[in-house]
Amino acid sequence: LALLLALVPLVLLVAAQADGGKDYTGWRVLRAQPASAEQLRHVEVLVRALGAEGASQLWRWRPATDVLVRGDVADAAMRFLGARGIAANVHVADVGAEIRRERSADAQRRGPRPQDVLRSYLRYDEMNEFMDDLQRRFPHLATVATFGRSYEGRDMKVMQISSGGGGQRPVILIDAGIHAREWIAPAMALYIIQQLVENPSNADLIANVDWHVIPLLNPDGYEYSHTTDRMWRKTRSVTDVPECFGADPNRNFDFYWGVVGVSWDPCKETYAGHEPFSEAESEALAMYGLGLRGRLRLYVAIHSYGGVFIHPWGYSHQKPSDYPKLVALGQEVAGAIRRAGIPRFDVGNCFEMLGELAAGGSDDWMKGVAGANFSYTLEMPVPSFTTPAVHIERYVVPTFEGFRAMGRFVSGVFGCC
């Protein structure tokens, strides 16, 4: 028996690799708190050096700096930080184990119907079934439309929720899943759809406003993150480098494209693409937004993670002229989410919230080109990219209070007919 038990970890290891996917066994997430410009430079040096070896990924700079590092270099990285007086701790001890936990929890909780959006992470096909089912049951409220096609040929779908008004009402446009690994974002979008369509107590939110919700903007990347690499972020298009795939669709919009916070290396996570709208997914969303010009009052891109609500601009330190209004609604939304039980949820622009500028994002495009009055990126208040399915509800339900606040605001200020 002892021998058998001793074999269990080995078998698990082999099983993890047998699916042909990228194995994160032993990889750690280190959380550092660089407290000065000098310490920040040291962290940059570390990230660049390990990144060049494919041994690390920078997940974010702020509110704390999270770096994914390969197991065999994790201790040395911690020593490097310690020697320079930089406070750091191990945020996730074994990313591979977290991924396996997430997967088994999902398998156990998976309900018989695709409607169980709080119980498991739906796949691309299941999301489409979920929307088709809602349209069948609520034909007067919910319409599924195809607005584009992904690089690998998947239909990109939007759920249009309207209780009337003949296409004259103001629109709230929401998308999720532009970054493949941010699984909690599509879960949030599906819950929004479900609540607006199925829950009569939310009737006030759709009485004089239309909601267009895109639950999965990057279906190719999302499916790849399920089948092959849990930490995949980008699209899956070919690049000039044969072994490197995809561009960051949120660096690919044609508004100050590439001016800051992007990589020109197709092997990097924030590769901007070889030209603006090189990625079919970004272009499809941009054109959809343009089609709503004149009605587009509020746009929200749902991402994870961080628990922050980001207003434009992402490409510059400059403040938009209506910046006080953006902050005011932002504070209202963040307050609603905090009151619903999320202790920390902050509002600011990209640099203030994440510690870096980044051009070519969907939020900047919707405000700068499509004319959205209000435009935000919402980073879900989860601790990491891996959130076991048992915890979907704990984060998605309180965050919905933020979307209720947005709905009430848009109805009050712009609502019509």
Rule CB under 6 A: is residue 346 a binding residue for ligand ARG?
Answer: no
* Binding range to ligand ARG, per CB under 6 A, among 138-146, 212-220, 350-358, 386-394: 350-358
Rule CB under 6 A: is residue 350 a binding residue for ligand ARG?
Answer: yes
For 288, counting Cβ atoms within 10 Å of its Cβ (0-12 exposed, 13-18 middle, 19+ buried), the class is buried
**38: enclosing H helix or E strand:** helix 37-52
Residue 313: is the preceding peptide bond cis (ω within 30°)?
yes
363 binds, among ligand ARG, Zn ion, none (CB under 5 to 8 A by kind): ligand ARG
Cα separation of 352 and 33, whole Å?
A: 15
Among 377, 384, 399, 411, which residue sits at the site for ligand ARG (rule: CB under 6 A)? 377
Q: Tally the C-alpha atoms within 13 A of residue 266's C-alpha that lie toward its C-beta.
A: 17
Rule CB under 6 A: is residue 235 a binding residue for ligand ARG?
Answer: no
Closest distance to ligand ARG from the beta carbon of 361 (Å): 2
The mark string for 295-314 relative to Zn ion (x by CB under 5 A, - otherwise) is --------x-----------
**Which is catalytic among the residues 98, 269, 379, 401?**
379
- Cβ within 8 Å of residue 392, ≥6 positions away: 117, 118, 119, 120, 121, 184, 187
310 binds, among ligand ARG, Zn ion, none (CB under 5 to 8 A by kind): ligand ARG
Closest distance to ligand ARG from the beta carbon of 308 (Å): 9
**Nearer CB in complex with Zn ion: 276/361:** 361
Active site annotation includes 379: yes
> Which residue minimizes CB distance to ligand ARG?
314
User: Could you tell me what percentage of the chain is helix, strand and coil, using 3-state DSSP and rounding each to the nearest 5?
Assistant: 40, 20, 40
**Nearer CB in complex with ligand ARG: 210/364:** 364
Closest distance to ligand ARG from the beta carbon of 303 (Å): 5
* Virtual torsion, Cα 94, 96, 101, 103, nearest 10 deg: 160
314 binds, among ligand ARG, Zn ion, none (CB under 5 to 8 A by kind): ligand ARG
From the list 27, 29, 28, 31, the residue with the least C-alpha distance to 87 is 31
Which residue blocks in 53-183 are alpha helix, DSSP H? 71-83, 95-109, 124-137
Rule CB under 6 A: is residue 217 a binding residue for ligand ARG?
Answer: no
226 binds, among Zn ion, ligand ARG, none (CB under 5 to 8 A by kind): none
Asked if 381 and 141 touch (Cβ cutoff 8 Å), the reply is no
Among 34, 246, 289, 361, which residue sits at the site for ligand ARG (rule: CB under 6 A)? 361
Residue type, 276: P
Residues between 294 and 313 with contacts to ligand ARG, criterion CB under 6 A: 303, 310
Cα separation of 258 and 261, whole Å?
A: 7
Among 358, 370, 372, 406, which residue sits at the site for ligand ARG (rule: CB under 6 A)? 358
Residue 341 sits at φ, ψ, to 5 deg, of: 115, 10
Among 121, 196, 363, 367, which residue sits at the site for ligand ARG (rule: CB under 6 A)? 363
**Nearer CB in complex with ligand ARG: 157/233:** 233
Rule CB under 5 A: is residue 179 a binding residue for Zn ion?
Answer: yes
Q: Tally the C-alpha atoms within 13 A of residue 5's C-alpha that lie toward its C-beta.
A: 2
Residue 66 sits at φ, ψ, to 5 deg, of: -105, 125
Asked if 221 and 269 touch (Cβ cutoff 8 Å), the reply is no
Among 314, 330, 402, 407, which residue sits at the site for ligand ARG (rule: CB under 6 A)? 314
Closest distance to ligand ARG from the beta carbon of 288 (Å): 18
Active site residues: 379
Which residues of this protein are in contact with ligand ARG, per CB under 6 A? 250, 303, 310, 314, 350, 354, 358, 361, 363-364, 377
